[in-house]
Structure 1
């Protein structure tokens, strides 16, 4: 299993950053390789990505969700991964968004990409795109404030 930790500070209050992150179907707006995300129900999400010209699909289950603090997930079907996105106020209207992911590279190309740091770079770029997306809007596109334990 490979793992990574990335974080970024965004110039919006923690509630705004968290609320936007709960809008999974908006992820293609700021995640480069994500083609489509479908929220099946409160705790299940279907993902479709195109990575290096190859289509991948997987299903995740949200195993913990605490408003303004964290969202944790694990795969149910497809490429194995799990992780946590956490949200921390850092003063004023700034928030630190941190992503911790563990994943299993499947193909030789994915293993080489991992060794070259491509996955880590993609996550870092996605976080930068998230920052630009939410800061340019100044408010979230929606919110889900439920809890999952």
Structure 2
């Protein structure tokens, strides 16, 4: 598995950044290659992506979620192997660091080549930059889910 870790500072309070990130169905607005995210319930999302002409559908499960702090997930169904965590760090009343860490298992020769060339790394960096523009360009978050999800297996979180 390849590990990518990137962060961005956003000019919004931690609560605003976190609340917006919980609006998974809006991810196509700032994540390149993500065509659709459907939230199935509090823990599960169905993703459709198309990257480099390769279309993928998969399901993820949130394994740990603490408001204003972190969201940790893993792929559970479909043709994608990944897990990750996004963390939110309050810098001051109006600034937040958002750090995204992902472990991805590239499939096939094209994806392995893209990974070797650093394309996954650049994509994550670009997605965080677009999230910064997206959240800073709004007058506030478009919604929020502030529930707590506890890990069933403490070893499953990143």
Query: Structure 2 length as normaliser, TM-score?
Result: 0.93
Q: Name the CA distance, whole Å, in 1 between partners of 2:5 and 2:32.
A: 18
Partner of residue 125, structure 2: 124
Partner of residue 54, structure 1: 54
Partner of residue 72, structure 1: 72
Partner of residue 14, structure 1: 14
Q: Name the CA distance, whole Å, in 2 between partners of 1:19 and 1:139.
A: 9
Unaligned residue ranges in structure 1 (runs of 5+): none
**Does 2:132 match 1:135?**
no
Note the C-alpha offset of 1:103.
Answer: 1.0
Unaligned residue ranges in structure 2 (runs of 5+): 151-158
Note the C-alpha offset of 1:96.
Answer: 0.2
Work out whether residues 2 and 103 of structure 1, in 8 Å CA contact, stay in contact via their aligned partners in 2. yes
The secondary structure found in structure 1 opposite 2:92 is coil
The runs of 4+ residues in structure 1 deviating greater than 2 Å are: none
The secondary structure found in structure 2 opposite 1:124 is helix
Note the C-alpha offset of 1:4.
Answer: 1.0
Note the C-alpha offset of 1:132.
Answer: 0.1
Note the C-alpha offset of 1:138.
Answer: 3.0
RMSD: 0.6
Q: Name the CA distance, whole Å, in 2 between partners of 1:2 and 1:28.
A: 23
Query: Structure 1 length as normaliser, TM-score?
Result: 0.98
